[in-house]
Structure 1
Amino acid sequence: MRHLKLLHQVSEIARSGSIRQAAEKMNITASAMNRKIQDLELELGAPIFERRPRGVKLTTAGEMFVRYARSQIADAERLSSQVEDLRGLRRGPIKIACSQALAYDFLPSQIGAFRKDNPRLFFDLKVMDHEGAINALIEYDVDLAIVYRATARPAVRVIRSIPQRLVAIMHRDHVLASKKGLRLSDFVGHPLALPDASLGGRQVLDQVVAKRDLRFNVMAESNSFEMLRGLVLRCGMISFQVEIGAPTNDLGAELIGHTVDERDIPPSDLVVCQLRGRILPVAAASFADRLVKAMS
């Protein structure tokens, strides 16, 4: 599969926008990589990259070739996975992009259970917002995307979806901790630490708050759920997260979560998805089956 090296090089140049940077990452000289690309362009009869003073940009033909290259790389990885599976190795990698809500408990728990039967497996995990995760899926950077409120794309197939309610996270000693059936109006006047606008939970919250004309006392916002948990724990603030990422008894003894009344915020879907028409590597397909069962 020597041709795969060239395909990897083209893919990396497209990703970095620079022959020099791609060459450094792949440990070859920029001049040697450039000669290979020029030979390929001569064979194709069309330029793949437009050379610019600062880096390169894909031509229309280049965009077509990069999609082909990444498809071939993915197929080769699947073949390698199947061969290893026949030999009993099952090493992976399993490449996943996921929302932050899954990073603290749910996904590590599923990986831990899966590795009991597959201890040689390697996981490549990327925590991203939903748009970035779907783009990574389309670009063949990951096998699976597990995200909240994913934008529908024709190239993406949803394997499983599960409704997720919004949960208010607070210290167990907070004045609202013992109250049941919390409405959004209950949080007015309390200091809040909110996810930033790039995250799905915040987008849902903003839409409802704007319609209701509620005046929240937002004291902090962050794109890090770990930071938000710290603000809840150390500063007495309230934050919000979808229920799959809410504190559990074994991981968050000092924190509790209360579901926000669905009359204020209806559930939105968490989805497991893959690239439509792509046959997943054996290990990734097996792990996807486990996720589907766990979410059911």
Structure 2
Amino acid sequence: MRHLTTFRVIDVVARTGSIRRAAESLALTPSAVQRRVSGFETEIGQQIFERLATGVRLNAAGELVVHHIREEFAGTERLRSRLSDLEGVRRGHVSIACSQALAPHFLPDEIAAYRADFPQVTFDVRVLDHLAAIDAVEDYSVDLALVYGVEDMPAIDIIAAVRQDIAMVVARDHPLAGAGEARLRHLLDYPLALPLRSFEGRRLLDRSMARKGFAVAPQLESNSFEFLKAYVARTDAVTIQIPVGAPDRGGDAPVVSVPIAERDLAPGMLTLRQLKGRTLSVAAARFADQIRATLQQRFAA
């Protein structure tokens, strides 16, 4: 599989857009990277990169080549995983993109549980917004995406889907902390610290606010849910999050979550997705089965 070395070089050049940066990433000299690329172009009789003053960029032929290369990588990983299973050695690699809400607790717990049974399986976890996560699935950067708020896409299969009602998150001593359920009008009495409008939960909140004629500008916005929770823990502000990432009400965290009434704020969906038609490696397929079972057990009802 010597050709995979050249494929790896071309893939890194495509991702970085630079011979020099690719060389640094691969611990090679720029001339060695250039020889690999030029040799491949000579072999197939096509240039695959446009040479620019600022670096390189894939041309149309290059886009086809890189798509083939990433399919080849995925197929090789499946082969390795299946060969390992034949030997009775549960090896493999799983790459997954996830929304921020999954990063603090849910996904670490799932990976720890999986590796307790299969300690020789390695993982690559990327925290991305939902659209970037889907892009990573489509270009073979990851096997799976576990994301909140993505519409149906023809090229993507949904492995599992569970409903997620949005909750407000407040400091443990906040006046709303003991409420069994919050109404949107309750949020108007306090400063709002909200995720950016690119997040699905924020979009759902804004649409619901507009339907009710509420117009409230947030005091603070951030692309980090961990920052938002840390901020509301220190103030009387209110933020929002989906249950999979929200703090446990019975725990000892400095913040607690309170459900927002469904009649005020419609729920969204948390989905586990893969590229349509792609056969996952044994390790990735087994992990997807575990995630699906956990989601259904915890949230399907």
TM-score using structure 1 length: 0.95
Tell me what 1:16 maps to. Answer: 16
Residue aligned with 2:96, SS: strand
Q: Is residue 187–residue 216 contact of structure 1 (8 Å, CA) maintained in 2?
A: no
* Higher alpha-carbon deviation: 284-293 or 242-251: 242-251
Note the C-alpha offset of 1:36.
2.2
Please state how far the C-alpha of 1:84 moved relative to its aligned partner.
2.1
Tell me the alpha carbon deviations over residues 115-157 of structure 1, each in whole angstroms, 9 at most, x when there is no partner.
Answer: 2211222221111100110011111111110000113322211
Residues 82-139 of structure 1, C-alpha deviations (whole Å, 9 max, x = no match): 2223334333321110001111221122122222211222221111100110011111
Contact 1:190–1:238 at 8 Å: present in 2 too? Answer: yes
Partner of 1:137: 137
User: Using the alignment, how far apart are the partners of 2:28 and 2:232 within structure 1?
Assistant: 49
2:165 aligned partner, one-letter code = R
The residue that corresponds to 2:192 in the other structure is 192
Residue 93 of structure 1 aligns with an amino acid whose one-letter code is: H
- Residues 102 and 229 (structure 1), Cα distance of their counterparts in 2 relative to 1, 3 Å cut: same
**Which residue number corresponds to residue 35 of structure 1?**
35
The count of corresponding residues between Structure 1 and Structure 2 is 296
Q: Which residue of 1 aligns with 2:299?
A: none
Q: What residue identity is the alignment partner of 1:150?
A: V
| Residue 242 to residue 274, structure 1, CA distance change in 2 (3 Å) | same
Q: Distance in 2 between matches of 1:252 and 1:138?
A: 40
For the 8 Å contact 2:80–2:92, the answer to whether it is kept is no
CA distance in 2, matches of 1:127, 1:157: 20
CA contact (8 A) 1:143 1:280 kept: yes
Query: Which deviates the most, 250-259 or 217-226?
Result: 250-259
How far apart are the structure 2 equivalents of 1:89 and 1:241?
Answer: 40
Name the residue aligned to 1:167. 167
Read off the aligned partner of 1:143 and give its amino acid letter.
D
1:238 and 1:21 map into 2 onto residues whose CA distance is 43
After superposition, the Cα gap between the structure-2 partners of 1:9 and 1:259, relative to the gap in structure 1 and judged at 3 Å, is same
Question: Aligned pair in 2 of structure 1 residues 250, 77: CA closer, same or farther (>3 Å)?
Answer: farther
How far apart are the structure 2 equivalents of 1:73 and 1:250?
45
Distance in 2, matches of 1:86 and 1:252, equals 46
In structure 2, distance between residues paired with 1:197 and 1:16: 28
For structure 2, the 5+ residue unaligned runs are 297-301
What is the identity, as a one-letter code, of the residue corresponding to 1:152? Answer: D
The whole-number CA distance in structure 2 between the counterparts of 1:150 and 1:230 is 27
Shift of 1:162: 0.7
Further displaced range: 28-37 or 134-143? 28-37
Corresponding residue for 1:123?
123
TM-score, structure 2 length as denominator?
0.93
Distance of 1:22 and 1:63 partners within structure 2? 17
Specify whether residues 216 and 277 from structure 1 end up closer, same or farther in structure 2 by C-alpha distance, changes over 3 A only: same
Aligned to 2:214: 214
Determine the C-alpha separation between the residues in 2 that align with 1:18 and 1:247: 43
Q: Distance in 1 between matches of 2:38 and 2:28?
A: 16
Q: 1:184 and 1:68 mapped to 2: Cα distance?
A: 50
Q: Indicate the SS of the match to 2:215.
A: coil
Aligned equivalents of 1:55, 1:9: Cα separation in 2: 15
